[in-house]
Copies of this chain bind each other. A is one copy, B any other.
Amino acid sequence: MSEQCITGTGPYNIPMCITPDDIGDGWWEARSQDGRQGLVPETYVEIISAPEPQFPPPPPPMVADTGFSTNGYNTQQQQQQQQFSQQQQSFEDWDDDWDDDDDGGSSNSTGGTSQQDLAGQGNFGLAAPRREGKQISPGSEMSKYGTVKSSFNRFSHFAKSGGEAFLLGQTEERVSDSDKIRIVETADGPMWLNQDAAYTCTVTSPKKESKMKGLKSFIAYQLTPSFSNLQVSRRYKHFDWLHERLEVKFVCIPIPPLPDKAVTGRYESEFVQERMRQLQAWVNRMVRHPVICRSDVLHHFLTCTDEKKWKVGKRKAEKDEFQGAKFFQLVEPPNQALETRDLEGKMEQFCKFVMNMTDNVKTLITVHHDYAKKQIGPFKREYTKIGTSLKQLAVTFKLESSDYSRNLTTAIDLTGDAYNEIGEMFEKQPPREEYPLIEALYEYKGILQTYPEVLKVHEGAIGKAKECIKLQEEGKMNETEVTSVLTRADTISYATLAEMNNFQRDRVIDFKAMMQSYLREQIDFYKKLTEKLETALHHYDNA
């Protein structure tokens, strides 16, 4: 590892101090003028002078960080563009922002990623998620279900947080038994062990609150976890902070994006209710996750009622020793080593699954969104047209008022009413049947779009393990070292597989519930529609 520093420009011609390439595979360690550090692709760097530090001397170099992705099992997908220094921003400005909900973008400054530059090719045959910026709402009306908030670059984070050090066994913090996250082998493959009693948490009673004599206002949601039954008040920015912490800590778990932060109309009742529903869905998913539900950070979020204690817990969470790569130290996998070929097959299959399901879910969202629009528009219109024309006919028929015709006239008039009511039923149906389905699908869209980044972590670890086997073949590493690396790579693989299985279990539960509830609503709707027609038909019995 060289500690030599040369000066160059990175992406966007930012002057940087470069630690030249002993990391390998086209990735260089770099440090910018403001002290941010990270990996940059070699091709992005233009050397402008001999090493002659113009910036303050660099801090002690980080644990050497190989470009994990380079030897991953899908070599076509290695040209990842990794953003320069995304993770090292200070979180300290967060506390100052405690009362500030008015700045739509403020939460982004707390270590959030610069979304525009994250584009890159995926892995395992997966395209990287197309990140949708907050202001960009594709399909216009679809944005009401919340656009997908970007996940940060997990591989980069993993690498930066000591991925290689973990693999090489250089990090040996002590893990208390209660902190251990166990993975058990089941008939369906490795699964997270559900160690604690399940709990739930309700999100209710959104209230508009204000601070600083009304200068700053925000919506506060009341969260009540079942284990404490004590209400805590949380704002969107608290959710945003939690989301960030979970992403940082649980590098192998896709954290579904939060609903979008609204730019306008965020105090409107309808928006607030929708937001609350979406936050409830997000909280549901977090508390139901066997690993996340046990985490200190979530516990802090769900229980802390005191502002001072909040800040303490917040800082503690941000300084959590077992974040990112070090998370895997907590993981206790089964003893059995994984079979590489079997694993690669599973990963490829799963990547294909995620990719295809992403497409399917997007299609379903579009289809049901269109269907909802059709229900409100043309479907309603057709039935109303029938209703109106029958009622007009009844008006004419009333001109002829003989005994033998009166009942028919009434029956036709009532049939007209029935069709008008059916038209209204169509108009009212989407919030009962289409929107809940679309919301559930939208949540999955978010999870699925987060997954490729998650899988990069594993891909990187596998790549590193392969590299070590090569080094052993070349006599540059000894067997003990390599075995140790492979065991640790297996830990990452086990965690990834356990999470994949967790995803699949959740998927089955969620899609079953989704489809059942959708079909029940449809059945209920068509039964009511049929009843209306039957009632109309009976009016003709005496006509």
Q: Which residues of A come within 8 Å of B, CB atoms?
A: 187-189, 349, 352-353, 356-357, 359-361, 363-364, 367-368, 370-371, 374, 378-379, 382, 385-386, 389-390, 392-393, 395-397, 399-400, 402-405, 408, 411-412, 415, 504-505, 507-508, 511-512, 515-516, 519-520, 522-523, 526-527, 529-530, 533-534, 536-537, 540, 543
Beyond A356-B399, A392-B360, A404-B505, is A519–B543 a contact (Cβ under 8 Å)? no
Is there an interface contact between B187 and A515, defined as CB atoms closer than 8 Å?
no
Chain B residues whose CB sits within 8 angstroms of the CB of A404 once the complex forms: 188, 504-505, 508
How far, in angstroms, from A515 to B386 measured CA to CA in the complex?
12
Chain B: minimal CB distance from A411 (Å): 7
B389, B412, B415, B515: the one contacting A540 at CB < 8 Å is: B515
Is there an interface contact between B537 and A519, defined as CB atoms closer than 8 Å?
yes
Is there an interface contact between B529 and A533, defined as CB atoms closer than 8 Å?
no
How far, in angstroms, from A408 to B378 measured CA to CA in the complex?
33
Is there an interface contact between A385 and B367, defined as CB atoms closer than 8 Å?
yes
B187, B349, B361, B529: the one contacting A399 at CB < 8 Å is: B349
Closest to A530 in B: B526
Chain B residues whose CB sits within 8 angstroms of the CB of A364 once the complex forms: 389-390, 393
- Which of A378, A408, A519 has its CB near the most chain B CB atoms (within 10 A)? A519
Chain B: minimal CB distance from A499 (Å): 14
B360, B408, B537: the one contacting A508 at CB < 8 Å is: B408
Is there an interface contact between B408 and A382, defined as CB atoms closer than 8 Å?
no
Chain B residues whose CB sits within 8 angstroms of the CB of A400 once the complex forms: 349, 353, 504
Chain B residues whose CB sits within 8 angstroms of the CB of A367 once the complex forms: 385-386, 389
**6 contacts across the A-B interface (CB closer than 8 A):** A188-B404, A363-B389, A363-B392, A378-B378, A523-B537, A526-B533
Chain B residues whose CB sits within 8 angstroms of the CB of A187 once the complex forms: 403
